[in-house]
Amino acid sequence: MTVTTSYQGPIAVVSIDNPPVNALSKQLRQDLLDAVVRMDADPAVEAVVLSCEGRTFIAGADVKEFGKPPEAPHLPDVVTAIEHAEKPWVGAVHGNVLGGGLEIALGCTYRIAAPKTNFGLPEVKLGIIPGAGGTVRLPRLIGVEAAVDLATSGAVIGTEKAKAVGLIDAVVEGDLREGAVAFAQSIIGLPKPQPISLRAAPQKDGDFWSQAESSVRSKAKREVAPLRALASVRNATEVDFEAAMTFERSTFLDLRASDQAAALRHVFFAERAAPRPPELQGVPAAEILSAAVVGGGTMGAGIVAALRDAGLPVVLIERDAEAAERGLSNVRAIFDGAVKRGRLTAELAADRLAGVQTSTDYGALTDVDLVIEAVFEDLAVKQAVFAKLSGACRADAVLATNTSYLDPNQIGAGVKVPARFLGLHFFSPANVMKLLEIVPTATTSVEAVATGFALARLLGKIPVWAGICDGFIGNRILKVTRAQTERLLLSGATPSAIDAAMRQFGMPMGPFEAQDLGGLDIAAFQRRAARDRGEAVFAPIADKLCELGRFGQKTSGGWYDYAPGDRTPRPSDVVTKIIAGKAGDHLAGEWDNESLAEAIIFPMISEGAAILDEKVALRAADIDIVEIHGYGFPRWRGGLMHYGESVGLSKVVERLRQLSSKGLSAAPSQGLVRAAASDSFDG
Ligand code: 3HC
Ligand code: NAI
């Protein structure tokens, strides 16, 4: 049973207990329906309070059921039953009142809330729209504008805003259940107000809807659900209640079965699984109450800001006093930027900065719990830093390197306690990007890995376990992307055609635009280092551009030309000539957006499969998380590997064989060929 009932005089308290988030499973829907019948049949009951056990009200439909056919009782019927019950129902809500949870609350006669409650219709984030009256009842209760905002954005509003727009009737400061019972007592004997479904829908003119459509379209990019949610709210203002409910439900069922919904659901569960991998179940993490960062450049300053945002005191170590001052001003610039964007108050920014102590003396680290090194990408420099850290820090302190491409086994070779050393690979800007690759060495203890995962959760990041190889998971795939795009240039594609194809695919930026923005020098430095290590790196055109000093926007030219002060990429004759010179006779290839995207993404999938095969990544879903949160891969495609599965792995293999036979890509990896046999990366 997910529902129990207790009584306080004539008030029945119907209490839901369906951990972890009281999601509306089939069982809960049935139990609620039974409760309505029971309450109506009980002559002693005059009013009903509906409340939830645990940390939240109902957080929505049970997403786990979305992969299967819908089963009765259906949620719209449960909401209607509550709405038309003979006795008034008082929804007493706290925590998260989301999706189907909000729809249940809209079925209640009154809604009263605890402070700091979140209300929203997040369905669009799962590629669907509300399916139990959210888009139909909400405009009738809070007006069209507010309903459009909630239904199309998936954003949440707090208790104060909910009260202001008329979503809730009262706020209870003390004990919610007691307050709800008192409220229910106060309405006994009053006539039951008209249910929301019987109210007239407010009207809006055509201008309103066309403006709303262009605004939703531009924010949604290629996601379909937000526009369908808008259409459903609009329809709810134009037809009667029953017809609006039918339209909403059929849109919901249609989208529930769509590829985008499957992809977004996959990401929902992958994001929740990643921070707590089964490999770490029951493994204790060390408590991290203080931290230090060595190196206050681009990455170090971002990591300091992330640690401060999580409330940890931080020591920042630099080479000399001048560099320490520069490091601190890098951190200050991050907090100032947050104040300018309205994300932080000036007082909080000052407080965050005050919690950073700079030093050039490792003696300041005798009592820190964790140190993250972010100095130059140079093995000798990093090893020297860890030798000093080994001498200065407590034996149980966790020591981490933020290296991008060097081998953490070598960096940590001389540390005093190898079990407490590991890689923590942040992404730039480190205080913004959610991804954190956790890279154990051959000697890292499982407790230190668990501590890395716990740190990620503390920082609000999504951690992914990554093995050691050149570039770990993300940058190793990026190398394939880069080499592949250059191959395509040599066979007739242009930088602007490739960028357009990748934007059309759903990436926020094309690969060449992105390189021009970030600067070509960083990758050139990494290629040099890789070649020094004896590796072959294919980048004939990028190499030539760097030779010419074309490092991107900062030098007014890279893959594109730029007019001074203007970031608009313009196709460059210089680049066209370089490509023609290197390509010889191969420039005749014919490409369109789709074939270009395939020729770039499929080799990445193949590399992802090799990474899985080598156990550099533990799960295909982890690679999806890396691509989405580190490189802007579209969520609605479910991430790189999920996308491969949705295309069909046999098709990916076949296409790669065609491309490789023409010298346009590497052959499909063995891991990919094996996975294609079962058309799945999960065996
Ligand atoms: N269905 C099934 N499981 C859910 C769930 C849901 N709607 N929401 C959360 N969970 C599970 C998570 O998978 C996780 O399980 P795990 O512990 O086994 O990994 C557990 O609950 C806790 O979730 P979080 O780690 O996300 O906990 P937080 O406290 O950080 O966040 C939350 C809680 C804000 C409720 C967040 O989980 C959330 O946003 N959930 C999704 C809410 C949602 O999208 N609701 C709409 C569903 S669609 C719908 O209602 C359709 C209707 O209109 C017909
Ligand atoms: P950076 O050049 O901006 O900063 C390096 C900082 O380290 C400088 O402030 C320098 O003064 C300091 N430093 C150098 N030697 C030191 C020493 N012995 N002791 C103390 N401080 C010292 O470099 P960036 O970009 O911040 O990179 C740092 C590390 O992070 C590198 O290993 C890099 O590969 C890695 N990384 C970089 C990413 C990026 O996008 N820039 C992304 C992820 C990792």
Q: What is the pLDDT of residues 340-386, one digit of tens each?
A: 999 999 999 999 999 999 999 999 999 999 999 999 999 999 999 99
Give pLDDT, residue 146: 97
User: Are 633 and 560 found together in one domain?
Assistant: yes
Same domain, 628 and 517: yes
Q: What is the CATH number of the domain that holds 227?
A: 3.90.226.10
Residue 439, beta-bridge partner list: 423
Mean pLDDT of 379-402: 97
**What count of other Cβ atoms lies within 10 Å of the Cβ of residue 590?**
8
Tell me, yes or no, whether 461 and 480 share the same domain: no
Give distance in angstroms: CA of 370 to centre of ligand 2. 18
Q: How is the beta sheet containing 462-465 ordered, strand by strand?
A: 356-359, 314-317, 291-294, 370-373, 398-401, 421-426, 435-440, 462-465
Ligand 1, atom 41, lies closest to the CA of: 59
Task: Specify whether 225 is located in the same domain as 246.
Answer: yes
Q: What is the ipTM of this complex?
A: 0.95
- Domain annotation covers residue 7: yes
Ligand nearest to the CA of 296: 2
Which pLDDT value is given to residue 556?
86
Of the residues 434, 465, 496, which one is the last residue of a structural domain?
Answer: 465
Which of 259, 279, 303 lies at the terminal end of a domain, its last residue?
259
Rounded average pLDDT over 160-175: 97
**What would the pLDDT profile of 602-615 be if each residue is shown by its tens digit?**
999 999 999 999 99
- The verdict on residue 269 lying in a domain is no
Q: What is the pLDDT of residue 582?
A: 86
One-letter identity of residue 320: D
Could you tell me the distance, in angstroms and rounded to a whole number, from the CA of residue 131 to the centre of ligand 1?
16
The answer to whether position 95 is within a domain reads: yes
Instruction: Give yes or no: residues 453 and 483 share one domain.
Output: no
CATH number of the domain residue 509 falls in: 1.10.1040.50
Cβ–ligand 1 distance for 131 under 6 Å, the answer: yes
User: Catalytic residue among 46, 83, 123, 223, which?
Assistant: 123
CB under 8 Å to 639, separation ≥6 — which residues?
263, 266, 267, 270, 621, 623, 624, 625, 627, 628, 633
Tell me whether residue 223 is one of the annotated catalytic residues: no
pLDDT at 586: 61
Q: Is residue 281 part of a domain?
A: no
Share of the chain above pLDDT 90, in %: 94
Is the Cβ atom of 433 under 6 angstroms away from ligand 2?
no
293 & 355 share domain:
yes
Q: How far is ligand 1, taken at its centre, from the CA of residue 128, in Å?
A: 15
CA distances from 640 to 48, 66, 461, 626 (A): 49, 22, 20, 9
Provide the token pair at 82: 């509550």
Q: What is the pLDDT of residues 642-661, one digit of tens each?
A: 999 999 999 999 999 999 99
In short, whether 318's Cβ falls inside 6 Å of ligand 2 is yes
Same domain, 81 and 190: yes
Q: Is 503 helix (H, G, I), strand (E, B) or coil?
A: helix
- The answer to whether 419 and 444 have CB atoms below 8 angstroms apart is yes
Q: Dihedral of CA 445/447/450/451: which sign?
A: negative
User: In this structure, are 162 and 15 located in the same domain?
Assistant: yes
Alpha helices in 279-345 (DSSP H): 298-309, 321-340
- Whole-number Å distance, alpha carbon 523 to ligand 2 midpoint, is 14
- CA 530 – ligand 2 centroid, Å: 18
Token digits of residue 543? 């190499």
666 vs 604: CA distance, rounded Å: 10
Residues 479 and 446 in one domain: no
Quick check: CB of 59 below 6 Å from ligand 1? yes
Residue 587: the pLDDT is 57
Is 274 a domain residue? Answer: no
Give domain status of residue 270, yes or no. no
Q: What is the mean pLDDT of residues 69-97?
A: 97
The predicted pLDDT at position 33 comes to 98
Q: What is the residue type of 609?
A: A
Is 363 inside any structural domain? yes
238 catalytic? Reply is no
DSSP state of 127: T
Q: Which ligand is nearest to the CA of 130?
A: 1
Query: Ligand 2 within 6 A of 381 CB?
Result: yes
What is the pLDDT at residue 588?
60
Domain boundaries, position 147: 3-259
What is the Å distance from ligand 1's center to 22 Cα? 9
The total of structural domains in the chain comes to 3
Mean local confidence (pLDDT), 21-35: 98
What pLDDT does residue 585 have? 63
pTM for the full predicted model: 0.94
Among 209, 243, 259, the domain boundary falls at: 259
User: pLDDT tens across 190-228, in order?
Assistant: 999 999 999 999 999 999 999 999 999 999 989 999 999
Residue 61, ligand 1, Cβ within 6 A = yes
% of the chain at pLDDT higher than 70:
99
668 lines ligand 1 (CB under 6 A): no
Q: Please work out whether the CB of residue 120 comes within 6 Å of at least one atom of ligand 1.
A: no
Residue 16: pLDDT over 70: yes
Higher pLDDT: 556 or 571? It is 571
Pocket test of ligand 2: the residue of 376, 386, 425, 475 to mutate, having most ligand atoms within 8 Å of its CB, is 376
Ligand 2 proximity of 529 Cβ (cutoff 6 Å): no
* Peptide bond connecting 73 to the previous residue in cis, omega within 30 degrees of 0: yes
- What CATH number does the domain containing 434 carry? 3.40.50.720
- H-helix or E-strand containing 151? helix 144-153
Q: How far is the CA of 98 from the centre of ligand 1 (A)?
A: 9
Atom of ligand 1 nearest to the CA of 56: 35
pLDDT value of position 67: 84
Regarding whether 350 and 309 lie in a shared domain, the answer is yes
- CA–CA separation, 32 and 516 (whole Å): 57
pLDDT in tens, 284-343: 999 999 999 999 999 999 999 999 999 999 999 999 999 999 999 999 999 999 999 999
Query: How much is the pLDDT for 38?
Result: 97
Rounded distance between C-alpha atoms, residue 56 and residue 195, angstroms: 25
Q: Are residues 130 and 247 in the same domain?
A: yes
For residue 152, give both structure tokens: 């199309």
Residue 470 confidence (pLDDT) = 87
Phi, psi angle pair for 539, to nearest 5°? -155, 55
Q: Are 612 and 648 in contact (CB under 8 A)?
A: no
Three-state DSSP class for residue 583: helix
User: Mean of the per-residue pLDDT values for the chain?
Assistant: 96
Q: Is the CB of 374 under 6 A from ligand 2?
A: yes
Q: pLDDT value at position 468?
A: 95
Question: Does one domain contain both 326 and 409?
Answer: yes
Whole-angstrom Cα distance, residue 193 to residue 460? 44
User: What is the pLDDT confidence band of residue 529, given thresholds at 50, 70 and 90?
Assistant: confident
The model's pLDDT over 432-460, given as tens digits with 9 standing for 90+, comes to 999 999 999 999 999 999 999 999 999 99
Ligand 2 closest atom vs CA 300: 26
Rounded Cα–Cα distance for residues 604 and 607 (Å): 5
Side chain identity, residue 623 = I
3-state DSSP helix/strand/coil % of the chain, to nearest 5: 55, 10, 35
Tell whether 683 is covered by a domain: no
